[in-house]
């Protein structure tokens, strides 16, 4: 029997020897590789976290102490050790285990995460609550080196250092974000890594002080001064200490003895402490160690070759965007590309290779990315800011206050808009229509296919103000791409089919499924193209003509295109017309495959047809 099969809660770890824990680490790695090769998921981050997770659960008392995982994509070992081993094969599958920590899933998941850089803030809140309640448990945040570059993490360090309450922060430094980590903080961490000498000397002084039989305040003061001196001698300054944290490290994140010793020690220290742990992304799986970016998060793959099992046959929207932008950028030097740590995911990689000087990966810093783009736009450049729908939520105020209010020429390319495979509620891109379409000056487009996407990109770059383009994480329709690119008329919809007695208005990804429905029902079908501004003329004319209308979108209904059409018709005195809005309900959507969820929420051609038929009967 494997050691892993005997672990039903973290308590079961406590009786294992270091040798046994080391066996357990290998078993956990095998389990993660075998499962993720079938389910897809975040492989490399999890393989790098195995020893650290074991050590944390070994040293802490999981029923009282709290671990807050930043992003939460590295919690597979944590899930395996906290009673979820038997369900692990359902990872990321519909109705199975989530790929992220969820409070509803386990009492060991202290805080729900998915978006980065929240862990220290949440942990600090919990630490302060603990103090106010007069309790004494350990509160610990685990944060990656890239997530530490997010603004919220800085804000939390700033408050934590000043509050001085007991708080442990484990910095998991693997020098990687999804791709190579960027920024001055990452350069600084490298410097710290390269100076273990200081830490060795520092440990030695602390050891000597501890060994001194009678240690009076003067000796302690002397030891501290000595420590300061050493610090200044070997490295410019330990930034975390300047902020009020005690700094420990670097610690080898794959050495169980060293990790356990360090954690035992630091958990007793008063005040905020940061432990700098060095890990290797993909540890223990050669293919992932060699290409951690590819294995950061991926679909099902062949363990021997690393090849993905499902290959997209048609070009994805993301690819078509990346290639088209590249072509346009060759003709216009003012075009600059901006990403917040998602160069690969957003398709900007090709652009970055050809135009490294015009490409900016700002780190996991969506708010900054947007205002940075504003600065470039004010200075005459044409920034293209490519951000996933779910992460752009972070930068709502920057879009509104720094871009739209000043009517700046910035193009937002919103990838993963709509239902997103596998990751669940934290990553569904279903709110952007609602949170963008009420912002004055901002135009919001959604292409029906990859060919239209290209024209929209061209349109966006020609437009004189802020404009956004949304599309899902999916392959395109496989349509022929036009040779030339044309500018679309802002706010002009496209009538794709004329029918009788019913008009269907569809946005973006819903146009093709709605077209099938329109054909079946002999209805008129309009590709809205623009969620904002709406095509007032076409909408009002067809509404009057057909008498009954349906609006379909892949986004939440509240505040979506349907709502906006209703408002328009009310303004035009047409509110007594029969209207059906089809979209996503007012809830956070679970994880599962895109096809399962689209079908569950009635956004396939069959689902739309069923809803429309039922409504027609009742109407």
Catalytic center residues: 281, 366, 394
Q: Is 118 a binder of ligand TPP (CB under 6 A)?
A: no
Q: H/E element holding 354? A: helix 349-354
283 binds ligand TPP (CB under 6 A): no
d(CA 343, CA 178): 9
Are 534 and 443 in contact, with CB atoms under 8 Å apart? no
Distance CA 111, CA 97 (A): 16
CB of 254 to ligand TPP, least distance (A): 14
Given the complex with ligand TPP, which of 174 and 199 has the nearer CB atom?
174
| Per-residue mark of binding to ligand TPP, 398-437 (x: CB under 6 A) | ----------------------------------------
Residue 432 or 450: the one with the smaller Cβ distance to ligand TPP is: 432
CA dist list (Å): 48 to 190, 193, 255, 550 = 18, 17, 12, 50
Q: Does residue 73 belong to the site contacting ligand TPP (CB under 6 A)?
A: yes
Please give the DSSP secondary-structure letter assigned to residue 398. Answer: I
Q: Is 258 exposed, middle or buried (0-12, 13-18, 19+ CB in 10 A)?
A: middle
Closest separation in Å from C-beta 177 to ligand TPP: 4
Q: Rule CB under 6 A: is residue 115 a binding residue for ligand TPP?
A: yes
Where does residue 499 rank: exposed (0-12), middle (13-18), buried (19+ CB within 10 A)?
Answer: middle
Decide: helix, strand or coil at residue 584: strand
3-state DSSP call for residue 360?
strand
Judged by CB under 6 A, the stretch of 54-62, 176-184, 245-253, 319-327 that binds ligand TPP is: 176-184
* Residue nearer to ligand TPP on the CB measure, 37 or 177: 177
**77 touching ligand TPP, by CB under 6 A:** no
Least Cβ distance, residue 454 to ligand TPP (angstroms): 26
Which 3-state string (H, E, C) describes 512-578? HHHHHHHHHHCCEEEECCEEECCCHHHHHHHHHHHCEEEEEEEEECCCCHHHHHHHHHHHCCCCCCE
Closer CB to ligand TPP, 130 or 283, in the complex: 283
- By CB under 6 A, name the one of 145, 415, 452, 474 that touches ligand TPP: 145
> Which one of 144, 418, 466, 562 is in contact with ligand TPP (CB under 6 A)?
144
Nearer to ligand TPP, 361 or 452 (CB): 361
Q: Which is nearer to ligand TPP, 389 or 543 (CB)?
A: 389
> Which residues, listed in sequence order, are joined to residue 69 by a DSSP beta bridge?
142
**Whole-number minimum distance, CB 593 to ligand TPP, in Å?**
20
Question: Is 281 a binder of ligand TPP (CB under 6 A)?
Answer: yes
Binding mask 341-370 for ligand TPP (x = CB under 6 A): x----------------------x-x----
Using CB under 6 A, pick the residue from 76, 111, 245, 391 that binds ligand TPP: 391
Residue closer to ligand TPP (CB basis): 45 or 284: 45
- Three-class DSSP category at 255: coil
Using DSSP, state whether 100 is helix, strand or coil.
coil
Query: In terms of residues, how long is the chain?
Result: 619
> Using CB under 6 A as the criterion, what x/- string covers residues 461-480 for binding ligand TPP?
--------------------
Helix (H) or strand (E) holding 307: none
Query: Which token pair is 70?
Result: 């930043």
Residues 32-51 that bind ligand TPP (CB under 6 A): 45
Least distance to ligand TPP, CB of residue 186, Å: 9
Closer CB to ligand TPP, residue 388 or residue 463?
Answer: 388
Q: Can you list the alpha helix ranges (DSSP code H) found in 164-195?
A: 184-193
Least distance (Å) from ligand TPP to the CB of residue 510?
A: 26
Q: Which residues pair with 180 in a beta bridge?
A: 176
Angle, helices 256-266 vs 18-39, to 10°: value is 100
394 part of the interface to ligand TPP, by CB under 6 A: yes
280 touching ligand TPP, by CB under 6 A: no
Site size toward ligand TPP, by CB under 6 A? 22
Check residue 178 for interaction with ligand TPP (CB under 6 A): yes
Give the DSSP H/E element, type plus range, for residue 216.
Answer: none
Whether the CB-CB separation of 169 and 120 falls below 8 Å is answered with yes
Quote the least distance from Cβ 299 to ligand TPP, whole Å: 16
Residue 140 Cβ vs ligand TPP, minimum distance, rounded to whole Å: 16
| Token pair listed for 494 | 């496209």
Considering just the CA atoms, what is the radius of gyration of the chain in Å? Answer: 27
Q: Name the segment binding ligand TPP (CB under 6 A); options: 142-150, 220-228, 492-500, 606-614.
A: 142-150
Residue with smallest beta-carbon separation from ligand TPP: 144
Q: Which stretch of DSSP H or E encloses residue 108?
A: none
Q: How far is the CB of 363 from ligand TPP (least distance, A)?
A: 8
CB 44 → ligand TPP: shortest distance, Å?
A: 7
Contact residue for ligand TPP among 53, 74, 262, 352 (CB under 6 A): 74
Place of tokens 């109705």: 95
177 counts as binding ligand TPP under rule CB under 6 A:
yes
Q: How far is the CB of 342 from ligand TPP (least distance, A)?
A: 6
* Count of beta carbons in the 10 Å neighbourhood of residue 177: 26
> What does the DSSP assignment read for 441-472?
T-EEE--SSHHHHHHHHHHHHH-SS-EEEE--
When asked if residue 182 is in the footprint of ligand TPP (CB under 6 A), the reply is no
Structure tokens at 89: 């094969």
CA distance 329 to 309: 34
Which stretches within 115-242 are classed as H helix?
Answer: 119-133, 151-163, 184-193, 196-211, 217-234, 239-242
Residue 116 binds ligand TPP, judged by CB under 6 A: yes
Give the residues lining the site for ligand TPP (CB under 6 A).
45, 71, 73-74, 115-116, 144-147, 172, 174, 176-178, 281, 340-341, 364, 366, 391, 394
């Amino acid at each position: 029997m494997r050691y892993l099969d005997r672990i039903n809660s973290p308590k079961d770890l406590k009786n294992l020897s270091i040798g046994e824990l080391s066996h357990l680490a290998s078993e956990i790695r095998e389990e993660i590789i075998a499962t993720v090769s079938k389910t897809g998921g975040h492989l490399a981050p999890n393989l790098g976290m195995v020893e650290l997770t074991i050590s944390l659960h070994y040293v802490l008392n999981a029923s009282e102490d709290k671990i807050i995982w930043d992003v939460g994509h590295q919690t597979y070992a944590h899930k395996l050790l906290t009673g979820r081993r038997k369900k692990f094969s359902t990872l990321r599958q519909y109705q199975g285990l989530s790929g992220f920590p969820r409070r509803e899933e386990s009492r060991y998941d202290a805080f729900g995460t998915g978006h980065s850089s929240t862990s220290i803030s949440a942990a600090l809140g919990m630490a302060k609550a603990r103090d106010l309640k007069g309790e004494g448990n350990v509160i610990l945040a685990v944060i990656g080196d890239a997530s530490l570059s997010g603004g919220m993490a800085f804000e939390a360090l700033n408050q934590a250092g000043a509050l001085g309450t007991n708080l442990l922060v484990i910095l998991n430094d693997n020098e990687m974000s999804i791709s190579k980590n960027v920024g001055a903080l990452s350069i600084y961490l490298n410097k710290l890594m390269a100076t273990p000498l200081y830490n060795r000397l520092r440990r030695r002084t602390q050891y000597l002080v501890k060994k001194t039989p009678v240690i009076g305040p003067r000796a302690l003061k002397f030891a501290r001064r000595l420590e300061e001196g050493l610090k200044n001698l070997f490295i410019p300054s330990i930034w975390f200490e300047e902020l009020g944290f005690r700094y420990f490290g670097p610690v080898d994140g794959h050495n169980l003895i060293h990790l356990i010793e360090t954690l035992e020690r630091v958990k007793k220290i008063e005040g905020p402490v940061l432990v700098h742990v060095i890990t290797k992304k993909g540890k223990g799986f050669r293919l992932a160690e060699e290409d951690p970016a590819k294995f950061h998060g991926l679909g099902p793959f062949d363990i021997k070759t690393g090849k993905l099992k499902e290959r997209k046959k048609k070009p994805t929207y993301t690819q078509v965007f990346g290639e088209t932008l590249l072509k346009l950028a060759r003709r216009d030097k003012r075009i600059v590309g901006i990403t917040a740590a998602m160069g690969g995911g957003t398709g900007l990689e090709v652009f970055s290779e050809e135009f490294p000087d015009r490409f900016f990966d700002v780190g996991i810093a969506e708010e900054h990315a947007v205002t940075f783009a504003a600065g470039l736009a004010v200075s005459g450049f044409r920034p293209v800011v490519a951000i996933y729908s779910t992460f752009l939520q972070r930068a709502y105020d920057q879009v509104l206050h720094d871009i739209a209010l000043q009517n700046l020429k910035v193009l937002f390319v919103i990838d993963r808009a709509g239902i997103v495979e596998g990751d669940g509620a934290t990553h569904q891109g279903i709110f952007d229509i609602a949170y963008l379409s009420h912002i004055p000056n901002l135009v919001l487009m959604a292409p029906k296919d990859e060919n239209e996407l290209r024209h929209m990109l061209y349109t966006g770059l020609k437009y004189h103000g802020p404009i956004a383009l949304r599309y899902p994480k999916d392959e395109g329709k496989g349509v022929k791409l036009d040779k030339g690119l044309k500018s679309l008329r802002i706010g002009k919809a496209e009538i794709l089919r004329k029918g009788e007695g019913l008009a269907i208005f569809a946005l973006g990804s819903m146009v093709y499924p709605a077209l099938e429905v329109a054909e079946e029902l002999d209805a008129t079908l309009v590709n809205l193209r623009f969620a904002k501004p709406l095509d007032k003329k076409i909408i009002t004319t067809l509404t009057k003509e057909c008498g009954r209308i349906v609006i379909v979108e892949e986004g939440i209904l509240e505040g979506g295109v349907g709502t906006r059409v209703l408002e328009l018709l009310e303004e035009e005195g047409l509110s007594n017309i029969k209207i059906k809005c089809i979209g996503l309900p007012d809830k956070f959507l679970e994880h599962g495959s895109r096809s399962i969820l689209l079908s569950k929420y009635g956004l396939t051609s069959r689902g739309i047809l069923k809803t429309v038929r039922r409504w027609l009967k009742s109407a």
